């Protein structure tokens, strides 16, 4: 056997395998194209979804800003006389929860042991 025959035998497979090789190549190409289309589509839909979400967030922030400025404007309009007219009363005996020095020390010791 000469070298040219060996190369030809290796490069050109026997006729019985050609059909199988072509089908395998076409199947591999179909899978590759399908994966490409899937991933590109996913990226595009993710970008569109992100832009839609950002637009929705901007709209919500704008509405919140308008509502808070409206709230503060109305808060400035309310005075004690109007509050009393609505049935509200000034609370003279208001209690607030505070931390004592002992509870702060206990909490810091407990956190140090964790």
Least confident of 30-34, 87-91, 102-106: 102-106
Classify residue 114: in a domain, yes or no: no
Classify residue 60: in a domain, yes or no: yes
When pLDDT is averaged across residues 84-103 and rounded to a whole number, the result is 74
When pLDDT is averaged across residues 5-14 and rounded to a whole number, the result is 68
Classify residue 71: in a domain, yes or no: yes
C-beta separation of 21 from 13 below 8 A:
yes
Classify residue 30: in a domain, yes or no: yes
Q: Flag whether the pTM goes above 0.75.
A: no
Least confident of 42-56, 61-75, 88-102: 88-102
Domain count, the chain: 1
Q: Write the DSSP string, 46-107.
A: HHHHHHHHHHHHHHHHHHHHHHHHHHHHHHHH--HHHHHHTT----SS-------HHHHHHH
Classify residue 73: in a domain, yes or no: yes
pLDDT reported for residue 19: 81
Which structural domain range is residue 82 located in? 3-89
């Amino acid at each position: 056997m000469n070298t040219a025959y060996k190369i030809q035998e290796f490069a050109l497979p026997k006729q019985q395998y050609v059909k199988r090789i072509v089908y395998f190549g076409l199947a591999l190409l179909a899978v590759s194209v399908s994966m490409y289309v899937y991933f590109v589509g996913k990226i595009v839909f993710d970008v569109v979804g992100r832009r839609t979400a950002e637009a929705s967030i901007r709209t919500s922030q704008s509405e919140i800003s308008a509502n808070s400025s409206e709230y503060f404007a109305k808060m400035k309009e309310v005075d004690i006389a109007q509050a009393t007219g609505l049935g509200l009363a000034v609370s003279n005996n208001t209690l607030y929860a505070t931390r004592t020095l002992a509870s702060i020390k206990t909490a810091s010791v407990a956190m140090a042991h964790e």
